[in-house]
A and B are shown apart, each in its own frame.
Chain A
């Protein structure tokens, strides 16, 4: 009897230890060996992007296979592990939390700060510093500046995309309205002319409108920036929506929608505004490069792109997304080698040929691959906008979701709904948001 009791007790202890071991927190990640040297043993690097369609996924799969062959002599095999657009970050967060995220993963630029603050992505600075063959200056400066916050290097930009104005050339011809590209060439593509052509295109009887846009920070943020304002103060520790420039930008935006009535009501991204534009009922629709494949596939009219109209200042967004390395990767050196390859001009040229993004590497061959990816006939507005565009902001001084999505956005919605004046909304934003910034 005693033996049986002892046996039971031991069994419980063993089982209990299994449970405790399973529930215990994982060991802290060790910093990588900053050699940048090739992996000595055979390793597998799992990497992930968020392809929008099968064609894009096929290109990434081919890149993965080609790089596996190229890096075989270094013992590195790549496994491409794509994830769907819907719930992309939810899945990633769950994987980071469980400690089984891919070794290399693409994330949206604005999310970089969240992952860096949580310590789930690797600081690449030691690896980059130790690698003499690597030059950060090969990439566009703006995203690199954001990735180098606090003296670290949180990733390498996979691609960039600037905010430009897509426009329906047929509609402009139909109403005999000045072509924006011509106005831009003459240096007259400013808010005054933008408003004028939007009015000339608007015909409620025909249900055509001059302008439409999705309702998210990138779009109303353009008006803020072009008015001479900004979303945050210089060191991003406070709201700047009540500044003179921000108010001016938002006031112009409000006028387009509520007074001139040249624009359809803004909806969620990919929603009604985009559909109206694709249906040929809207003259101008601002968006990033990611809209180009959809335009190629679905637009039944002649279309082009032009830089965003100049307000008080030139403004656009430089959207970017980096590849980052999981802090729990077992092979940081091999992951670094793969990451360099994934952001090399050769690989970026293959992705750029798809037309959905601009290479983040300034190499001419990669840029040429992008410029030759047509339509639109003229891709240069995407590249020239990068010269003055404000980079998408990873907010290291606060929670982007709480501040921008939770406070800025609902108050901007109230401007569109006519429930608040611009001044009231801006004051409400700053009053609620300021306490949430980390000073």
Chain B
């Protein structure tokens, strides 16, 4: 290798160095350390104690309890209802958090991607004032999670929140018009959005979707504007309806964008932390406990950093797995030019 070439390479590495150092110090080394901690019993204050896979088996493992199973069978119940007693998770709370995280990710996906696509479709026109609408829909994206969470906290307030007030008006209106004359007026449901287990997770899903739609919409809009106009024109000349254009031209050409949105949304949804941290602290009845919030509780509030680190790596594995599956499936439906 010539002297000049070596010098050139060195200069190249020097330019790379600031970023590389940043990556090593703030990403690679902490990641490696957390991976090591995940195999230890570590409370932050004393030396970590190597425990092998114990943290992973505690989170993911199950034990069988034949006695409980037989006892339930003996009480006359079916084998199916006794199954829950036979197979018991080592850490039931982890599986609650796991289930909530999956439900949350799916909920956000449905409530943000589909509306974002439809809004982008509607806003993809050159009508006057369209930029104002686009900006309005994008505003929640730039709002801080803390600020918007506090606003939603008041929207969801049970007694005097905006949402329940609107529902009350609707109920009163329906009663006045229909149900009271029929002698069967509806009761005000007075939904406890954040204080009842059956509503709390949905409330967080709605809030997150509201703040995600804007970003997704902008991506969809950019992709829609990238579709050549002659394709629309040719379709119109051929007599295609707006619906046909959407199904046969827009969706296929947008499939890489849809795929991108799906992957990024699922990755961020599976890491949900701020919303339950600020609004519900995982409650009520663990209904909004997500894996990342659970690992925060374990690692930072209950001095079980080893277990917390293992949970973090389980989340990573989950995201990795889901993303690989998405990539595999994408070969069948994503249209690449």
Interface residues of A (CB under 8 A from B): 25, 89-90, 93, 96-97, 114, 118-120, 207, 215, 264-268, 271-272, 275-276, 279, 281, 399, 401-402, 405-406, 409-411, 413-414, 416-417, 419, 432
Give the chain B neighbours of A416 by CB distance below 8 A. 195, 284
Which of B43, B46, B198, B297 interacts with A401 by CB under 8 Å?
B297
Q: Which 10 A-B pairs have the closest CB atoms?
A: A413-B285, A413-B284, A401-B302, A265-B195, A97-B44, A118-B45, A410-B286, A265-B192, A410-B285, A267-B195
Which B residues between 6 and 46 are near A, CB-CB below 8 angstroms?
Answer: 43-46
Q: How large is the interface on B (under 10, 10 to 19, 20 to 34, 35 or more residues)?
A: 20 to 34
Give the chain A neighbours of B195 by CB distance below 8 A. 215, 265-267, 272, 416
CB A318 to nearest CB in B, in angstroms, measures 24
Q: Is the CB of B43 within 8 A of A268?
A: no
The interface stretch among B100-108, B112-120, B153-161, B230-238 is: B153-161
Pairs across A and B, CB under 8 Å, 25 listed: A90-B300, A90-B301, A93-B44, A96-B45, A97-B44, A114-B303, A119-B45, A207-B159, A264-B159, A265-B192, A266-B195, A267-B194, A399-B302, A399-B303, A401-B301, A402-B302, A406-B93, A406-B297, A410-B284, A410-B285, A413-B284, A413-B285, A417-B196, A417-B197, A419-B197
CA distance A97 to B92 in the complex (A): 29
Q: Is the CB of B45 within 8 A of A414?
A: no
Q: Is the CB of A118 within 8 A of B43?
A: yes
Per-residue interface assignment for chain B, residues 275 to 303, with 1 indicating a CB less than 8 Å from any chain A CB and 0 otherwise: 00000110111110000000001001111
Q: Which of B45, B46, B160, B192 is most buried by chain A, counting CB atoms within 10 A of its CB?
A: B45
Q: Which residue of chain B has the shortest Cβ distance to A267 in the bound complex?
A: B195
The main secondary structure of chain A at its interface with chain B is helix
Q: How many A-B contacts at CB < 8 Å in the complex?
A: 85
Q: Is the CB of A410 within 8 A of B158?
A: no
B336 within 8 A of A: no
B47 within 8 A of A: yes
Give the chain A neighbours of B301 by CB distance below 8 A. 89-90, 401, 405
Which of A268, A275, A401, A413 interacts with B157 by CB under 8 Å?
A275
Q: Which of A90, A215, A417 is most buried by chain B, counting CB atoms within 10 A of its CB?
A: A417
Give the chain B neighbours of A89 by CB distance below 8 A. 301
Provided the pairs A399-B302, A417-B285 are in contact, do residues A265 and B280 lie with their beta carbons within 8 angstroms?
no
Q: Which of B153, B195, B287, B302 is most buried by chain A, counting CB atoms within 10 A of its CB?
A: B195
Provided the pairs A399-B303, A401-B297, A402-B302 are in contact, do residues A417 and B159 lie with their beta carbons within 8 angstroms?
no
Give the chain B neighbours of A281 by CB distance below 8 A. 159-160
The main secondary structure of chain B at its interface with chain A is loop
CA distance A362 to B178 in the complex (A): 66
Give the chain B neighbours of A114 by CB distance below 8 A. 303
Provided the pairs A401-B301, A416-B284 are in contact, do residues A279 and B160 lie with their beta carbons within 8 angstroms?
yes
Q: Is the CB of B198 within 8 A of A417?
A: yes
CB B79 to nearest CB in A, in angstroms, measures 22
Which of A96, A118, A120, A215 interacts with B284 by CB under 8 Å?
A215
Which B residues between 90 and 133 are near A, CB-CB below 8 angstroms?
Answer: 92-93
Which of B92, B93, B159 interacts with A276 by CB under 8 Å?
B159
CB A250 to nearest CB in B, in angstroms, measures 15
Which of B45, B157, B198, B287 interacts with A272 by CB under 8 Å?
B157
CA distance A259 to B93 in the complex (A): 30
CB B205 to nearest CB in A, in angstroms, measures 18
Per-residue interface assignment for chain B, residues 129 to 169, with 1 indicating a CB less than 8 Å from any chain A CB and 0 otherwise: 00000000000000000000000010001111000000000
Give the chain A neighbours of B297 by CB distance below 8 A. 401, 405-406
Provided the pairs A265-B196, A399-B303 are in contact, do residues A272 and B44 lie with their beta carbons within 8 angstroms?
no
Provided the pairs A399-B303, A417-B196, A419-B197 are in contact, do residues A265 and B158 lie with their beta carbons within 8 angstroms?
yes
CA distance A164 to B301 in the complex (A): 28
Provided the pairs A118-B303, A265-B158, A272-B158 are in contact, do residues A413 and B281 lie with their beta carbons within 8 angstroms?
no
CB B246 to nearest CB in A, in angstroms, measures 43
Give the chain A neighbours of B159 by CB distance below 8 A. 207, 264, 272, 276, 281
Q: Which residue of chain A has the shortest Cβ distance to B280 in the bound complex?
A: A268
